[in-house]
Amino acid sequence: MKFEDITFVVQGPIHPTITQRSILTLRNRFPGSQVILSTWEGEDVSGLNVDDVIFNKDPGSTTFVYSKKDEAVKVNVNRQIASTYTGLNAVKTKYAAKLRSDNVLHNTNVIELFEKYPQRDERYSFLNKRLVCSNFYAKEYERGLRIPYFYSDFFQFGETADLLKVWNIEYFSDYVFREELSGKKQHEHYPKDSVHVEQKIWSHFVNQFIPAKLVDEHGSKQDLKNSRNVMLNNLVIVNGDVLGLEVPERLRQQNGYPYDCYTYQRWQWLYERGFGVSLGIPLLFKAKWILATTWMFFRKGMRLKIRKLVKRS
């Protein structure tokens, strides 16, 4: 793959110093690649060395949940959809990357990673090729239980056509506050546990191929099985330090205990199991992971599972 075959879509608001540094780093690390900035109307883009700028109308924040204090919990999912999709739609090269405007990509490892894992199960291969994604907030577990379709939306690299498939999403609607639930954490699927933004994005994509609509953050047994197979056959999940992806300090995460989030080693381990190959994943890592997730199940997951079963009865 040549650098000239890649376009980077830097999406989101302009962050003083960070966005400029991100673009300059792309120019240095990927000479010949195109850079498109997809941002909001009214943003100051002077001095930014990009090939194209797309000024989007800001769709505003979205409310999926109201807290127990009856306060709207705002998320930026429609903003991300707007700036990502319009940016990708302007790409002319075969390959593209979605990069947040407050992130910096420091190396070219993504190209090798994209071409490294050829084996796939066609039953769950919904994209032409796997996307390489960061593991920032790519959750495998939440409160001691496995959680489906919670993959990261920070950074994604792959075929442009595949990225467009993922991000071709209609805007999500605001949840309408219900007075009779005042004082409770309320949302579309109350009294179940609310579905996260990342889950909404990915389950929407997967639902085009197999049933994937979620009504609870932890889903069903079938959701969990499908989610793992979809993840394994359509994504390569990679730690930020392997990708060379710098994120703001407030967004950095711990990749060890309690192993809530997927890591590159964890993804490779699942690849080993799924395709009967050996990638040399250390036994010590596997032992630590099993002990940690078992401990978290008994510490938090079991009680949560019982609570959910009681609610259903």
pLDDT tens by residue, 55-97? 999 999 999 999 999 999 999 999 999 999 999 999 999 999 9
The enclosing H or E element of 26 equals helix 18-29
Find residue 74's DSSP bridge partners: 63
In whole angstroms, what is the distance from residue 217 CA to residue 192 CA?
A: 8
Cα torsion 271, 273, 277, 281: sign: positive
Which segment of 51-55, 233-237, 253-257 scores lowest on mean pLDDT? 253-257
The radius of gyration of the chain from alpha carbons, rounded to an integer in Å, stands at 20
Model confidence at 311, in pLDDT bands (50, 70, 90)? confident
Q: SS3 of 243, please?
A: helix
pLDDT on residue 171? 96
Whether 136 has a pLDDT exceeding 70, the answer reads yes
pTM over 0.85: yes
Whether 251 has a pLDDT exceeding 90, the answer reads no
pLDDT tens by residue, 154-202? 999 999 999 999 999 999 999 999 999 999 999 999 999 999 999 999 9
In whole angstroms, what is the distance from residue 190 CA to residue 68 CA?
A: 13
Whether 283 has a pLDDT exceeding 90, the answer reads yes
Model confidence at 26, in pLDDT bands (50, 70, 90)? very high
Residue found under tokens 């008994």: 298
Q: What is the mean pLDDT of residues 256-283?
A: 94
* % the chain with pLDDT above 90: 93
Separation of CA 295 from chain center: 26
* Count of structural domains, the chain: 1
In whole angstroms, what is the distance from residue 195 CA to residue 119 CA?
A: 31
Q: What is the mean pLDDT of the chain?
A: 95
Whether 313 has a pLDDT exceeding 70, the answer reads no
Domain that holds residue 49: 3-312
Model confidence at 33, in pLDDT bands (50, 70, 90)? very high
Written as one string, the DSSP assignment of 41-94 is TT---TT---SEEEEEPP---EEEEE-TTS-EEEE-HHHHHHHHHHHHHT--SS
